[in-house]
Amino acid sequence: MNEFVTYQSEEKYAIITIHNGKANAISHEVIAGLNLSLDKAEQDDKIVILTGTPGIFSGGFDLKVMSKSAASAKELVTKGSKLSLRMLSFPKPIIIASNGHAIAKGAFLLLSADYRIGVEGDFKIGLNEVMIGMTMHNAGIAIAKSRLSEVYVNRSVNNAEIFNSKDAVKAGFLDVIVPENQLLPTAIKVAEMFTKLNKKAHAATKLQVRKPHLEALENAIELDLKSDISINV
């Protein structure tokens, strides 16, 4: 789709890969590439497998953009929130094959997918916004509340607790963890599982189950547009 996001079409699924430097940062270009890839998957009627690079799914938003100005940070965060809204309401199943670390927006992408597979090991997974001085935005809170239990919302959002792969399953960021060499094969098996679902029923049921959460996220995005992204130093 562009130099930061690639799209590989297979018979029953498409593999979308983020590759943007050491941190696999979520930049304007990455979000644009992801949206184009989702457009293509929807057009091709393909289940999505979203993955990163060895050792890291994503370290979060591009800090160069986030630190440039309040307006620049707000623009990127808003695009990221709208991407999560799209993923949570996407008519095709989205599977994430998380290669390792998933921090901040990387972890929010995990919370925006239908099935999340991680790699066994001492990888860092969680929401570190408060740790780095960012007051959590309304959309981030809405996404966390939609997928995490109240206990883990507090531990993740308020306390910025970071989990290893095993504990990330307990927290709700991942569904299962596998050895590194089984990551993509497992994602493909899950894709095969999804092919057994009725497509229309799956899409309609997803929207019904998530309706209150999607509405809350839409409202949160509007609130964030009227607010400043607060980064304290």
Q: DSSP assignment of 128-142, as one string?
A: -TTTTTBPPPHHHHH
87-100 pLDDT, tens digit each: 999 999 999 999 99
What would the mean pLDDT of 61-74 be, rounded to a whole number?
89
pLDDT category of residue 81 using cuts at 50, 70 and 90? very high
According to DSSP H, which parts of 148-231 are helical? 150-153, 165-171, 183-195, 199-225
pLDDT category of residue 233 using cuts at 50, 70 and 90? low
Name 145's Cβ contacts closer than 8 Å, sequence gap at least 6: 153, 213, 216
What would the mean pLDDT of 203-212 be, rounded to a whole number?
98
Strand partners, 16: 7, 50
7 and 37 in contact (C-beta within 8 Å)?
Answer: yes
| Residue 43 predicted with pLDDT over 80 | yes
158-187 pLDDT, tens digit each: 999 999 999 999 999 999 999 999 999 999
Alpha carbon 149 to its chain's center = 17
